Amino acid sequence: MTKKERINNIKTLFLEYYKDAKTELNYNNMYELLIAVMLSAQCTDKRVNIVTPLLFKKYPSTRELSIANIDEVAEIIKSVSFFNMKAKNLVSMAKSVENNFNGKIPCNQKDLMNLSGVGQKSANVVLGEFLGLNYMAVDTHVFRVSHRLGLSKSIKAIETEKDLTKIFKDNLNLLHQAFVLFGRYKCKAIKPKCNDCFVIKYCKNKSNFKPQ
């Protein structure tokens, strides 16, 4: 089996097993998705989903959030990791959207990344999930899965993103979510469920890979 055939087989299997893969973050619009993604950095989706209902109710758009008291925002999200910094970023993001984008969340990677607290991974997740655009994002789950399958040898998440984008080319948004779900529930960091794995024959290494 050639390297290209191997990659194509892995891609096909993931798209078959996770053909309807979606984020587990709860949201109703792009504004809510962006906030949820920002809060999810180094935090579980489950925890984020606990705090966002009240946050979205009190600040239903960037207009309300842009004039919010940072301490009040922090109080709502205090169970989320790095809540003080995230509260500052949320308010700053909202101010920028109000002042520079007429209250509408920008729909391109460059503008999204210019918002406070939004890096390339977060921007790609939002664009891929909400708009279905062809972007790969690499979190700890995607990093671990891609390295266990020998799809990348890069030690940094951003470089791994480049590797996956190059070899897969399309369906990147779906593959991102598929890898996330697979890594979260099957190919776990500790005690991966290898006996219930549809790509076990392509597995190269069961180490717990973490980006540097």
Residue from 71, 78, 111, 139 carrying the catalytic annotation: 139
C-alpha count within 13 angstroms, C-beta hemisphere, residue 10:
27
C-alpha count within 13 angstroms, C-beta hemisphere, residue 29:
8
Residue from 86, 88, 121, 188 carrying the catalytic annotation: 121
Residue with tokens 């979606």: 22
Annotation says 71 is catalytic? no
Measured in degrees and rounded to the nearest 5, phi and psi for residue 103 equal 80, 10
b/e sequence 59-76, b meaning 16+ C-beta within 10 Å: bebbeebbebeeeebbeb
Q: Which long-range contacts (CB under 8 A, 24 or more apart) does 64-69 make?
A: 65/90, 65/91, 65/93, 65/94, 66/91, 66/94, 66/95, 66/97, 66/98, 66/99, 68/94
Whether the Cβ atoms of residue 104 and residue 75 lie closer than 8 Å to each other: no
Residue with tokens 């990147």: 172
Annotation says 121 is catalytic? yes
Q: Which residues are catalytic?
A: 121, 139
